[in-house]
Structures are given as structure tokens and as C-alpha cells.
Amino acid sequence: MFIPGASEALAEASLLAHCSPVWEKLRSAKVFSYHPTDNQNRKSYFDSYMIDLRRRQKEILLECNKIAEGVVAYIDIKSFYPSLSLDIAEQYWTQFCRNGSIDDHHAHIGRSLIRRYRECSITGGLLVGPMFSHFLANLVLSHIDIESEYPQVSYFRYVDDITFVGPENAVRDAIEQTRRKLGELGLAMHPFDSPKTMVVPIHEWAESANDFVHADHSLAWMRLVGDIKKLILTNADIAKHIERDLAAEGFRLPIPDYAVAVREASSFEKIRQLGLWSWLKVQLGRISTNTVIHEARSLADRLSAETLNLLKHEADDSVFQRKRVVTKLRYRLGRLVYLATMEQLEEIADAAERWPELAFHRIIIEAIISGDCSPVLELGTNAAQATAQIFRANRSTARFSRSISTPVEVQGLAVFILNGVPVEAEVRSLDDPALNFARGPIDVDLMRQPSGLIQELACLHGIGPVRHAEILRSAFDVSEMIMLDALEFEYAYSF
């Protein structure tokens, strides 16, 4: 498992920001994923994936409107990242640095990261987690994107999902040509007739044209989160108690502490960054803890009813229609784990039993209901973080009915402890660096760990009692978004 150190993560951020203007000149308009943000962006490494999905959906619609008869074909590259040779990735990185006049210092950082990936990669291919891996993957496929001019066929790519639009026979030819080009890179793509390939007649695809357009519930969600942030940034007294007040009403929203960020930003700067000047007074006049609670309850009721209705869909729907429903369900479930009542969650969990695609959300929901988080640990640290965040907001104790012994389970338990969640667990492997770091206190031995991540974090933390939960809860910039980790499971299907 590759776990970057703190300095390595910062190096990635610096490198991607430096590459952004060069990539902007070279990238193809046919690619809709992992575009690095510029130096002034303080929110994320890459543009929002939902913005890219909406852009791609709009472009596919424009092409469909030009064709009377035809198909939309969705094909994915098999085991894309592990199959993409790091040797090839390094060649493309060197070429990018040369063509883009990347200075030697940043070019060296890129080569050093690739060397680290090579040490950890079992297959000799790209690692899935690091941010720089996403950039390298785009680099390697960039020449295929640029050369993807096919008669009567339009080409769109989102990470490893490639979409072709055109008459069926022309799409078949385009897929075969793309397969040959990918083969030259040691990559494989499912053929047109494979069960893994989703081919949809244009008239059927048209039903999905507005699937990624903001609906009323989407706007209501954004308004809810936005109102919470405005409230806590502009009213220090409310900010201290809003998470507790929401928890008392049955909500499980983890609210960052912006106190440090507010103290360090002037009032002018804070308001300017939020873009509130013209209507700040009017907006703040309508927002209070009570209005936020009302918004949350209303949205929970609406999303719960919609979710139960969607879960009634028949299993014999076409693959395309089922995936459309799954995406809609994931969107709603990702919000309901924070908003729904226990009764609503119980009803949803029962109805979701026959939907294996919803396993992540269902297991998290069942953990919220029962308090038993053992099944969550089997899903990995991302699921553990999403669940721990909810338990922290709800001030609940996480119980683990099964003894914890594997490295993945121990790391998941450490995540709960890092978030300040009280735990009841039997741990067989007590002498684990991650667990020792989470439990504390931090001592010299942890600072001498050979593991880069634990060593660097221990040194950054300093000797003494742990303060992990306080640090994780703190926002250090007013631009920092309210992060709701369960939402990250929404769009595993990116059609």
C-alpha cells in the first residue's frame, strides 16, 4: 500500500499547480476529467468532477442532436491504472517537461514521485491513489485523445471511460481503431460486442440528457450547506454550538471549526472571498439555526421519499437504465446518511438489500443504525473516514463486534480514533504505528518510525498528548469547503 508522507503530498500539490498552465495549452477538448486547477485555486487539486461530468453530458447531447439514427457506446479501459506502465508514464512526463519548458526542479519532483510509485507498485503500473497519477494517466492518453478523429463518430473521455457517438457501424470501426492504439501502450479495451460495453440507441440515451442538471433537491442541498457556512463564518456564538444543535435534532452533519480561519482573515477579505457583498445583509437576515434545521428536515423528507420510489425499479431494466437509477440513488443516499431520521434509514436499508451496487452506502447506513462498525472496516479507510465523520458529528460510540487483526482493519480503526470517535474494540495487533499515532501520546519513537507518513506526521504534531480530532475539525482557510466524505461514493459509474 502506498501512503504518501506530508511533504510528498505538498510536493504533488505544488507540481500540479505548476503544470496547470502548460497542460491547459496542450489538453484536448475531448477530455473531461482531472484538469489541474491554477495557482490561485485554494479548494482542490483538480476541477470538480461534477462540472466535468456535466460538460461531457452537454457535449454528448449536442452530438446526438446532429444524428437521426445512431448509438452512444460506453467502453472502459481494462484495469487502467495498474496496467499503465510506469516506464511509459515516465517517458510521457519527460516529453511533457521538454515541450512545456518545465524547469529542472519541477521535472525532478515528477521523476522522484514516479520512482516512489515504482517502489510500491505490484504490477509495475500506475498507483490509483496519488493525485499525480491522475495527471500522468491523462498525459499518456493525450495523444490518443488528440488523434481520435473518426468519420461520423465523436469521441469523449472521462478518466478510463470512453464514449463514442455516431452511426453503429462507424462506432464499431472507431472502437476497433482505438483498441489498436491502446494496445500499443499495453492497454486493453472491451470490444463492441462485450457484455461490459454499454451500447444505447440515441433515442434511449436522450432520456438521460438532463440527469446531471441541477434539480430542485440539488439546489436545496447546496443552499443548506451554503447557509450553514455563512452562518458559522459570520456568527461566532452560533458557530460554537451549531453541530451540537443539529445533532440534537437527529442530523449528522460534521461542521468544521472556522474560528482560526476567521481570526486570520480580515472581515473585508472574508466577505470578498465568499462573494457576499451585494446581498450579505439580506441573506443573513433570513438565516438562523432554526431555518437551517427546517431546510435540513424538509430536504431529508424529500430525498427519502424519492429514494424509496427509485428503489422500487425492477431488476430487468436495461443495463443503461439501471445505472441511471443507481447514480440517482447514490446521490440521494450520500446526503441521507447525514440528514435522514433513523426510521427513514431503516426503511431505506431494507429496500436497498437487492441493490449490490449500493453496498458502500448500505453498510454505512447499517452501521449508523446498529452502532456496529466492523463491516465498515472491510471496505477500507475511505469508508472508515466517511463513517467516522458521521459518528463524530452524532457524538456516538463506534462498536466493533469482531476482533480487529488485519492491517486494513487496524488502519480503519485508527481513522475512527483520529476523528475523536469513542471506540469499543478488541484489537489483536496493538503494536501498529498508525494505531499508536492515533491513540498517542506522540513520543520520540513515533518520530523515528521508518514509515514516511507516520514519521512526518509525528514530527509535525510534536511530542505530547494527541490533538488529532481538533486538527481534523479545524478549517484553516475561509475558502475551505465543508467536506462530507460519504458523498465521494456517488459516481462510481460515470456514464
DSSP 391-419: HHHHT-PEE-SS-B-SHHHHHHHHHHHHT
pLDDT (tens digit per residue) in 14-66: 999 999 999 988 888 999 999 888 777 767 788 877 888 889 999 999 999 99
CA distance 84 to 119: 15
- Residue 376 CA, chain-centre distance (Å), reads 18
Q: Look at residue 246 and tell me whether its pLDDT is greater than 80.
A: yes
- Other beta carbons within 10 Å of 188: 14
**Stronger pLDDT, 89 or 225, i.e. the higher one:** 89
- Report CA torsion sign: 348, 349, 351, 356: positive
Pick the closest to residue 15 from 137, 121, 91, 102 (CA basis). 102
HSE-CB for 290 with a 13 A CA cutoff: 2
Number of helices (H), then strands (E), in the chain: 24, 6
pLDDT (tens digit per residue) in 167-184: 999 999 999 999 999 999
DSSP state letter for 35: P
- Which of 14-28, 85-99, 236-250, 475-489 holds the top average pLDDT? 85-99
Burial of 218 (0-12, 13-18, 19+ CB in 10 A): middle
Q: Which residue has the cell 472502459?
A: 76
CA distance 390 to 416: 10
Q: Look at residue 82 and tell me whether its pLDDT is greater than 60.
A: yes
Tell me the three cell numbers of residue 164.
463514442
In this prediction, residue 144 carries a pLDDT of 92
Q: Look at residue 265 and tell me whether its pLDDT is greater than 50.
A: yes
CA distance 480 to 477: 5
CA distance 364 to 387: 6
pLDDT (tens digit per residue) in 183-224: 999 999 887 777 778 899 999 999 898 887 777 778 888 888
Long-range CB contacts for residues 350-353, cutoff 8 Å, separation at least 24 = 351/308, 351/311, 351/312, 352/311
CA distance 356 to 315: 11
